[in-house]
Amino acid sequence: LKLAEAGYKEVTLLGQNIDAYGRDMTPRRNFADLLYYLNDNIPDGTISRIRYVTSHPRYFSDRVIDAVANLDKVCECFHMPFQAGDDKVLKEMRRGYTFDSYMNIIRKIKEKAPDASICGDVIVGFPGETEEEFQRTLDLMNEVHFDNLNTFAYSPRPNTEAALWKNQVPPEVSAERLQRVQKLANEHALERSQRYLGKIVEVLVEDRNPKNREEVMGRTRQGRQVFFKADIGLAGKLVDVKITEAGTWSLLGELQEVK
């Protein structure tokens, strides 16, 4: 609420597992309670966008989906790391969920908040991962079609059990799998960008485009970056932009209206 008084237009709630919020409180609360509280108590005309990261599929609550779908200040964006698609690999990672339980969350998101973006994280080459198990990661990606996916090849970390296992995946195999994941992720991201073509979207103007000083840049409520010609004096304002071009990670548009 102090940030609202200071003039901020957007805030991001940050936590490694933000769904654990409130478990150590008395009385016990949850993250959805916080979203509803902030949405109801932030004064109108101040903060207009609330974002958050990161959710954990094991602890994720359906009430968070309801909050994103129904609250006007909470942005329609879900960051839901899945890390791997194979149940055996997920168990060895001790993630606490399965392919099916993860996809059940995704189906609920798409049903209740169909315009939301879905982002994630994935690791390839976890010790012992076979080609068949890796294929399940591609299967999951093809079912979800992520707006943005952070991709990583497994690397041993000190003081972790997996770093000592004898079945490490050869670096060249991990690198090849990472390339396949990135190629598919790029295809899905472009497809998700193209859904904005011809639409008018709300953008919060952030700064100049460093590559074109005649343009400014901002983001949609779903987190897609947008570039369009306008004066930097619009920084911090909400504007409507008609999308004319769609790239893999960003959009181009034309200014329509300043709100």
- Kindly report, residue by residue over 169-208, the tens digit of the pLDDT: 999 999 999 999 999 999 999 999 999 999 999 999 999 9
Cα–Cα distance for residue pair 138/174, rounded to 1 Å:
14
Mean of pLDDT values over 134-154: 98
Is residue 194 within a helix (H) or strand (E), and if so which, with residue range?
A: helix 171-194
pLDDT value at residue 171:
96
pLDDT value at residue 4:
93
Averaged confidence pLDDT in the chain:
96
Mean of pLDDT values over 53-78: 96
Annotate 108-125 with b (16+ C-beta within 10 A) or e (fewer): ebeeebeebbbbbbbbbb
Q: Tell me: pLDDT of 65 over 90.
A: yes
pLDDT per position as a tens digit, 98-136:
999 999 999 999 999 999 999 999 999 999 999 999 999
User: What is the DSSP annotation of 74-140?
Assistant: B-SEEE---B-S-HHHHHHHT-S--HHHHHHHHHHHHHH-TT-EEEEEEEE--TT--HHHHHHHHHH
Q: Tell me: pLDDT of 229 over 90.
A: yes
pLDDT value at residue 26:
87
Q: Which DSSP letter does residue 59 get?
A: T
Is residue 206 within a helix (H) or strand (E), and if so which, with residue range?
A: strand 200-209
Percent above pLDDT 90 for the chain:
93
Question: Residue 23: which pLDDT band, with cuts at 50, 70 and 90?
Answer: confident
Work out the angle at residue 125's Cα, subtended by the Cα atoms of residues 122 and 131, and round it to the nearest 5 degrees: 105
